[in-house]
Structure 1
Amino acid sequence: MRPFLAALHRYAGLLMAGFLIVAGLTGSLLAWKDELEGALLPGVFRVTPPAPGAAPLDALLLRERVATHFPQAQISYAPLSAPAGHSMQFYLPHRDDAPLASDEVFVDPYTGAILGQRRWGEISEGLINLLPFIERLHDALALGDTGLLVFGLIAMLWTVDCFIGAALTFPARLKQRSPGAKPWLRRWRPSWLLRRHGGRYKLVFDLHRAGGLWLWAMLLVFAWSGVAFNLYDVYAAVMKPIFPHQPVEEVLAAHSPSSAPHLDWPAARARGRVLMAGLADQQHFLIIEENALSHERSLGVYSYKVRSSRDVREQKGLTTVIFDAVSGKQLATWLPTGTASGDTIRSWISALHMASMWGWPFKLLICAMGMAVAGLSVTGVLVWRRKRQGQAKAKRA
């Protein structure tokens, strides 16, 4: 069995190497996405209050101003807050008969001034799209839906290979147990160590093996969360039969939208606040800040999101109430943690993957992890190359 697993690990690694090098290096940069964008274009991504203690304008008033400035857009999502010192970001989905040059716009929350706009990921627009383009590379090699599928398949292969690689570090089973034989854990111990004086090849081999062991848990998080991001149906097919999930998708699928006039945005926000306060009392969590209100026109619902004590992320909370866009009747709720173990797992692996928790120390760790992923791919290729050269030399001899 071991030679078969070794062959699987070898060829899976060779197939994945290029993809993981790109994903690792771009992921290292994306851990600092917010900081890098602010440093590159502070006039677009950063704002200064006009006076100490100045309050930003009402978020829905800003939405109205953006809608007036871009009448072709159907602005169905309104951010309700932004981190201090940051511009507010609005998305500009357009009607099919009225395409827009940009699909994101950045607004000064204190004045309502348009600070910048971009078509997300179009590197031809310059620095304003540098980090989105890097994100496109990270997610899909900037190849659109085809790239998403390919990277999703690579993430699936990586997930399986995590377990194969770990199994290959285990010591070989003893054919016959002798009285002086070392315990299994002691025989496994060398796999975690580096042989510093064994020559270049042994050092490269140990970096690959020991590095994979020490970082194994986070490598698995990266791999499996990559499946969740790129191939959600596959992720759900594996996780939902094993772990309970909150039935939001099922509830919305059964909901019939009404053709009657829907609640306007201020009324919808007020209704969302009432429903969220009731949910917080019922489920015993604290509301930290409101984050967003969105109107799903095709479903006939509003979604109101806050960051709460149930959230893992430090920004853009996902604690959600969903209600009918006409009657305001609550249809579903979704809590990131503490209600269904399947949703708790997904919230944690997503936040870990995106370095959206625990501040800059964790961003530094994820940045280092990205470089380590690239390094493990390189050392794996070097180990394969050395073994191939040895086999060729043996055949010639």
Structure 2
Amino acid sequence: MVWHRWVGLAMAAFLVIAGFTGAIIAFQDELDAWLNPHLYQALSQPGQPMLDVYQLQAQAQQQAPANTRVDELQFKLPQSTLEDHHAEAMIFRLTPVGPQASIPADQLFINPQSGKVLGSRLSTAGPFQRETLLPFLYKLHYSLALPGVSGRLIMGIVAVLWTLDTFVAFFLTLPRRQPQSKSSYWQRWKPAWLVKWQASTTRINFDLHRAVGLWLCSVLLVFAWSSVMFNLREQVYLPIMTKLMPFDLSWRNIPKLPQPLTSLPMPWPQAHQLAQQAMQGFAKNHQLQIDYEDRLRLDRERGVYQYFVHSSADLRQDRGNTAIAIDAYTGEIKGHWLPTQDQSGNTFSNWLGALHMGQVFGMPYRIFVCCTGLSLVLVTVTGVLIWSRKRAGKSRVTLRAPQPANTLQRH
């Protein structure tokens, strides 16, 4: 009980931030596009074909801000224009030319028909512009929008405490042993699952805290432990999970080069062909069905191309996350990433991440994720109210207690 009280109070502000921002970013793409139609929608010319992926990449690189590179190809072009003569923009990620270079933007929005820039933004900027509001909320969600690794470390520690406290909170709802009781165990546990709406506000507040937390206990555990995975993967998550499940860590264990690549190892069409050939062999060996290509990126720090496709192993429908990393010069596979159909630890982790980010089961589950975030805020706030009322009650009792009589007498 003492653990739950003080750990809950220590986590309260962080969980309110995480729950509220998580409820919003469950619909991040839609809200971002609604706030910034000038970035996401381009005037289209009916009947005019889209530029091919190499032209788009070249146009993006030519118009990219100073000190930035476009080290990727985007294969998933919009299939058709919208009824109101607007086409969906292509979004390119910008990387700095040098490791210490300061860049004015890290995202570039391109008209897929003309190749003209619709706009750019620095997603790590503050919340006071509508272009950067949703990216800021996303960063606030996982790192408190703090620079460096400090925010992720704080939220990772909170996630560890949250995971442990989920078990403690569940244990506190269990009924105590009553050997002489004629009621069954379930009859004595049943009140913990219910809210007595006819009771006082204090009792309703307590019931909401206990019942909502109990109903969502397993769901909150998924969100808590996945938060540990995102923020303290190497420090906490993998040391524990590798003792329980086998993992393939080839994707994350590719070493960095002594110096990042400063020039393009080969033309993009040649790199694309090399990646396709490597993926065909990989898919055959792993019995994968390839649905479509997604993107090809150059990782200059590790000297590899990262080639993403959508396959029968993917969890998401709208994005391909089946990937291989190939040597930027030879095409040799250096690592791979499979959402499923791989080692059980990888599959479990990818499901954990997809559930946290609302990437499975379509819109109904994303609505559920949003409601879960708001429920986390409710459980946290009601818990703080329970503590504050108990503290106020103890203070009143102390003030009302009779003072000891003064036994000293004057002479």
TM-score (norm 1): 0.90
Q: 3-state SS of the aligned residue for 1:123?
A: coil
Q: Offset at 1:88? A: 1.5
Q: 1:251 to 1:155 in 2, by over 3 A?
A: closer
Q: 391, 408, 411: which is aligned to 1:388?
A: 391
Q: 1:320 to 1:34 in 2, by over 3 A?
A: same
Instruction: Look up the match of 1:162.
Output: 166
Q: 369, 375, 378: which is aligned to 1:375?
A: 378
CA offsets 1:249-305 (integer angstroms, 9 cap, x no match) = 576249999999833321221222222233333323322221111112232211101
Instruction: Look up the match of 2:132.
Output: 129
Q: Offset at 1:336? A: 0.8
Q: Offset at 1:207? A: 0.6
Aligned length: 388
Distance of 2:260 and 2:117 partners within structure 1: 35
Tell whether the 8 Å contact from 1:121 to 1:132 is kept in structure 2 after alignment.
Answer: yes
CA offsets 1:301-354 (integer angstroms, 9 cap, x no match) = 111011222111233321111211111122332211121111111111211111
Q: 89, 99, 106: which is aligned to 2:102?
A: 99
Distance of 1:169 and 1:82 partners within structure 2: 52
Instruction: Look up the match of 2:32.
Output: 37
Question: Residues 295-310 of structure 1 correspond to what in structure 2 (within 5 A)?
Answer: 295-310=298-313
Q: 3-state SS of the aligned residue for 1:267?
A: helix
Tell whether the 8 Å contact from 2:241 to 2:345 is kept in structure 1 after alignment.
Answer: yes
Unpaired segments ≥5 residues, structure 1: 1-5
Q: Offset at 1:392? A: 2.5
Instruction: Look up the match of 1:339.
Output: 342
Q: 63, 67, 71: which is aligned to 1:69?
A: 63
Distance of 2:183 and 2:283 partners within structure 1: 56
Tell whether the 8 Å contact from 1:80 to 1:291 is kept in structure 2 after alignment.
Answer: yes
Tell whether the 8 Å contact from 1:89 to 1:106 is kept in structure 2 after alignment.
Answer: yes
Distance of 2:280 and 2:204 partners within structure 1: 58
Q: Offset at 1:167? A: 0.8
Q: 1:197 to 1:32 in 2, by over 3 A?
A: same
Q: 1:8 to 1:83 in 2, by over 3 A?
A: farther
Tell whether the 8 Å contact from 1:151 to 1:230 is kept in structure 2 after alignment.
Answer: yes
% identical aligned pairs: 35
Distance of 1:224 and 1:312 partners within structure 2: 19
Distance of 1:142 and 1:95 partners within structure 2: 24
Q: Offset at 1:34? A: 1.0
Counterpart code for 1:115: L
CA offsets 1:89-116 (integer angstroms, 9 cap, x no match) = 1122113475331121111222211111
Unpaired segments ≥5 residues, structure 2: 80-86, 402-411
Q: 238, 242, 251: which is aligned to 1:240?
A: 242
Q: 1:55 to 1:306 in 2, by over 3 A?
A: farther
Q: 1:217 to 1:110 in 2, by over 3 A?
A: farther
Counterpart code for 1:205: F
Question: Residues 280-299 of structure 1 correspond to what in structure 2 (within 5 A)?
Answer: 280-299=283-302
Q: 3-state SS of the aligned residue for 2:133?
A: helix
Instruction: Look up the match of 1:14.
Output: 9
CA offsets 1:43-97 (integer angstroms, 9 cap, x no match) = 2113465325x64322232112221223632332333225665322112211347
Question: Residues 1-397 of structure 1 correspond to what in structure 2 (within 5 A)?
Answer: 6-47=1-42, 49-51=44-46, 55-70=49-64, 72-81=67-76, 85-96=87-98, 99-123=102-126, 126-144=129-147, 145-174=149-178, 177-178=179-180, 181-233=182-234, 234-249=236-251, 252-253=254-255, 262-395=265-398, 396-397=400-401
The structure whose residues are more often helix, as a share, is 1
Q: 1:254 to 1:183 in 2, by over 3 A?
A: farther
Tell whether the 8 Å contact from 1:80 to 1:292 is kept in structure 2 after alignment.
Answer: yes
Distance of 2:203 and 2:78 partners within structure 1: 48
Q: 1:137 to 1:285 in 2, by over 3 A?
A: same
Q: 1:317 to 1:250 in 2, by over 3 A?
A: closer
Tell whether the 8 Å contact from 2:313 to 2:339 is kept in structure 1 after alignment.
Answer: yes
TM-score (norm 2): 0.87
Distance of 2:252 and 2:31 partners within structure 1: 39
Distance of 2:210 and 2:101 partners within structure 1: 55
Q: Offset at 1:150? A: 1.0
Counterpart code for 1:185: W
Q: 3-state SS of the aligned residue for 1:252?
A: coil
Q: 1:121 to 1:282 in 2, by over 3 A?
A: same
Distance of 1:358 and 1:82 partners within structure 2: 24
Distance of 1:236 and 1:83 partners within structure 2: 38
Q: 1:254 to 1:106 in 2, by over 3 A?
A: closer
Distance of 2:101 and 2:200 partners within structure 1: 64
Instruction: Look up the match of 1:3.
Output: none
Tell whether the 8 Å contact from 1:261 to 1:326 is kept in structure 2 after alignment.
Answer: no
Q: 3-state SS of the aligned residue for 1:366?
A: helix
Q: 1:258 to 1:151 in 2, by over 3 A?
A: closer
Q: 1:232 to 1:272 in 2, by over 3 A?
A: same
Q: 1:392 to 1:130 in 2, by over 3 A?
A: same
Q: 1:160 to 1:300 in 2, by over 3 A?
A: same
Superposed CA RMSD? 2.5
Q: 3-state SS of the aligned residue for 1:242?
A: coil
Q: Offset at 1:377? A: 0.6
